[in-house]
Structure formats: structure tokens, C-alpha cells
Amino acid sequence: MKITEVRVHPLATDFAQPCWTAHERFDRAQLILVEVRTDSGLVGIGEVSSGPQAVVADYLRKFAEIVVGMDPLGHGDIWARLMSLTVPRPGGIPGWDGLPPPLPRHDRAQIMAAIGGIDIALWDIKGKAAGLPVFRLLGGTRTEVFTYATGGFYVEGVSPMACAEELAGYVAQGHRAVKLKTGALAFDDEVARVAATRRVIGPDVLLMLDMNAPYDLADCIAFAQAVEPHGIFWLEEPLHWYLQPRDFVRLAAATPIPLAHGEREWHRHAVRDFIDQGAIRYVQFDSTRHAGFTESLRIAHYAEMHGVKVAPHTAPHIHRHLVSALGDAAFAAESVGDPGRHPIHHAVYSDPADAKDGMVHLSEQPGFGYDIDWAQVDRLRA
């Protein structure tokens, strides 16, 4: 079997209401579908959720020229060939080895995202070729996995305290764990939001805080101590982006609240350092942002060896397979409480992995278990 074509589908749609995390404003939902076609007729679908969208799409088109003719079942060889473009290599500058010269350093995040989109599509093909869903291909047996609902985004014109009722609504729908966006407001206001949410959801629901890197070490220690009485399950991305594993170690020593991290790391080598330092108890690598499903598997097995739970970031329609395959070594797949936060997923995927009674379910459909509504893809083309 050979790859014959890679098609790139950038998609976008405006949000009904713009929203914020502590770090950035979101006006539009964006997604790139990656379609890998083969001479056997099998087609794999991958996804990229990182940007800038135009830059990632350009790299996907460049990579298409490289992978055409390769065996789609050889995901490791394809991953290694694309990754080799990110570093100097003998004969690389004049292209004597038949590959493009080393790619620019300043685009590495977008390059890793493009590699990920192709890699996910290859795993979809692999499952279809075997006639198995990916989770069974990996030895998984669980057809439902635990999930939690993320909410509490900051919405213009809406009270910041509305988060409490929003998350309570997700609990009423059957969720037993919810995650609150925090970090954008003044210290005391954020503590008040956490307290109000805990009051409304009750004592038995797991409550995580998604912080989007708002604090230096001293302020984060103070914040952790302030919210600790409200039974926080984890602090996610608690420290400024430039702070390193040692800083996370110092934070972990100052609070009993577990730390979660990893969704914005580009590859296993960076995640390895956080795991090795003992700084985090939950790792959240995202296949759709960087390096794909192959890299997620590498990280997951490394985390398992070191007693760190795997909790992949977003994309439950893809990551539920990883969570199922890992069994007790994984914590959960992440869901959005409000489908309006992921409008493209719910428009184009036949199975966007909506949660039911706090669980995400898996079918026996080969590959990642979804079909694409191509009419919706045409409607949403960027």
C-alpha cells in the first residue's frame, strides 16, 4: 500500500460569542482536517488544532510531496523522515539526499503541528487496514472511558461568576468531574470564582483548575494555598510559560494539589524532563497540536513507567482510544461542556465523542471511529 495524495482542509467559523482564557481571546474556531489517500482506497483523517492556520497548511502541503509513495502503515518511518527536516543533516543544505533543506527554526511549532496531522491520519488508516478501532489495535478493551467537562471561559458581557452555574449544569448532565478556567482576574476574584463553583457543584464532584500559565512561582504558591480548602483535584499549566521543571518542583513541594502540564509542549523530550523531575502527576500532551498520535503513545508509555497519569488535552474523538488502551495508567479524556466551544467538531465529525453520564464511548468502527460530513467541510472552508 502506498500514499497517493494528501489533501489539506483548513476550516473556520466565528464563535457566537467571543471568549477569553487567561492568556488569549478566541473569536473564531479553527481546525485543519488532513486527508491521506492510498492506492488501496483506504483514506485516513487527521486533525490539527494549532496555528497560525495558513502556516501549518503550507507545511502540510510541503510534507505531502515527501510522503507520497511511502507506505502509510510505516508511521514510524514517516514520522522520522518529517522530523529529520527540523535539524541539520549531512547533505541537507543543497538537498543532495532528495529532501528539502532544514526547515526554519522559527516555524518549529507549526512544523510539529503539521507532522501531527499527518501522523493521526496514518493511525486512522492503520486501524482501517486491520479492520479494528485504534484502541483495539493497541490492546485496549474498554468501550467507555472517564471524561470531564471544561468550562468557565471568560465571556464578554457575562458575569465572571456565571461559571458556577455553568459547571453545575455540566454536573446535572451527568459529569462527575469539571474543569474551570482561571487566572484572568485579580487574585481575590479568582479565589471567589473557585469558591462559588465548589459551593454549587457540591463536595463530591472533582474540580480541576485550568490556569493557562498566569503566575510566577511566589504568586502561584499563594494562589494554591488560597484555593486548597475548596478541594482542588489539580492545577493545570499554573506557571508562566518560560518557567521550567525545577520551578514546578518547587511549586509541587509547596502545595498538596497535584500539578498537570504538557498540552503546549512540542515533543516527548520536553515532557520527559517534567516527568523525570517529579514535578507533575498528570501529563496532558495533545496529539492534534504537536507531533501526533505516535508521539502521544511514546509519552504515555514513559509516563506510565514513572507513575504519572495520562490525561490527553481535548480531541476526545481521538484521545479516547489512547485512554482506553492505557487502562488504569490513564485518568480521562477531556470534553467541552458546551458543544458551542467546538462547533467545527460537532459539524464535521459523525462521532465527536460527546459525553454521556460522565463517560465517552467507543465503537467498533475501524480507525478512530468517525466519518466526515463533507458538505459541512465545504461550508466551513477557511
Between CA 9 and CA 223 the distance in angstroms is 42
How does DSSP classify residue 278? T
Between CA 53 and CA 12 the distance in angstroms is 9
Quote the number of domains for the chain: 2
Residue 378 domain flag: no
pLDDT at position 273: 93
Residue 381 domain flag: no
Q: In this structure, what CATH number is given to the domain that contains residue 351?
A: 3.20.20.120
Q: For residues 98 and 113, state if they share a domain.
A: yes
Residue 148 domain flag: yes
Closest by CA to 306, choosing from 284, 285, 278, is 278
Structural domain containing residue 337: 136-373
Q: For residues 48 and 66, state if they share a domain.
A: yes
Length of the chain: 382
Q: For residues 143 and 230, state if they share a domain.
A: yes
In the sheet that holds 43-48, the strands lie side by side as 43-48, 25-38, 3-20, 154-155
Burial of 151 per CB tally in 10 Å (0-12, 13-18, 19+): buried
Q: For residues 8 and 119, state if they share a domain.
A: yes
Residue 108 domain flag: yes
pLDDT at position 51: 85
Task: Provide the residue-wise pLDDT of the chain in tens; the chain has 382 residues.
Answer: 999 999 999 999 999 888 889 899 999 999 999 999 999 999 999 999 988 999 999 999 999 999 999 999 999 999 999 999 999 888 777 767 788 889 999 999 999 999 999 999 999 999 999 999 999 999 999 999 999 999 999 998 899 899 999 999 999 999 999 999 999 999 999 999 999 999 999 999 999 999 999 999 999 999 999 999 999 999 999 999 999 999 999 999 999 999 999 988 889 988 999 999 999 999 999 999 999 999 999 999 999 999 999 999 999 999 999 999 999 999 999 998 888 888 999 999 998 888 888 999 999 999 999 999 999 999 999 8
Residue 291 domain flag: yes
pLDDT at position 341: 86
| CB of 171 closer than 8 Å to CB of 142 | no
Q: In this structure, what CATH number is given to the domain that contains residue 124?
A: 3.30.390.10
Residue with C-alpha cell 496555528? Answer: 51
Between CA 312 and CA 331 the distance in angstroms is 9
Residue 171 domain flag: yes
For CA atoms 41, 46, 341, 180, the dihedral sign is positive
Residue 60 domain flag: yes
Q: For residues 18 and 158, state if they share a domain.
A: no
